[in-house]
Amino acid sequence: MLLHIDPGSPVPLGDQVAAAARAAIASGGFAAGDRLPAARTLADSLGVNVHTVLRGYQQLRDEGLIELRRGRGAVVTRTDTVSSRAALLPHARTLVAEARSLGLDEKEILALVRETLAERPA
């Protein structure tokens, strides 16, 4: 299974690679123990630099979703986190849409989320 990106998107290509792999894991395209496409192979198929793919893979590694093993490539280690994130995505979209309808910009939305995170449960 190869991943897809949109070169015309304002989202950085490495972030798109990570998002596409995350989506493939969430949809069951990859299971724990499966290997993601080799960085060089994926880079060639997407028409991007291998470092772009590695940047995306490093994001997934930092999130604990994959392990990067020399000689073995990127191996999926967890799928539960991805499905949990996928379940929250519609809620996040709703929050952003409602905040924008109230005239809040990106900085104000992020500040609101940070304020909420800083609150301590009663």
Q: Is residue 1 part of a domain?
A: no
- Domain that residue 97 falls in: 81-118
Model pLDDT for residues 29-50, shown as the tens digit of each residue: 888 899 999 999 999 999 999 9
In total, how many domains does the chain have? 2
Model pLDDT for residues 89-119, shown as the tens digit of each residue: 678 888 989 999 999 999 999 999 999 888 8
pTM over 0.85: no
Can you spell out the DSSP letters for 27-88? Answer: TTSS-TTPBPPPHHHHHHHHTS-HHHHHHHHHHHHHTTSEEEETTTEEEE--SHHHHHHHHH
With CA atoms as reference, report the closest residue to 21 among 58, 49, 48. Answer: 58
By mean pLDDT, which of 72-76, 80-84, 93-97, 110-114 is the weakest?
A: 80-84
Both 19 and 73 in one domain: the answer is: yes
Q: What is the DSSP letter of 7?
A: T
CATH code at position 32: 1.10.10.10
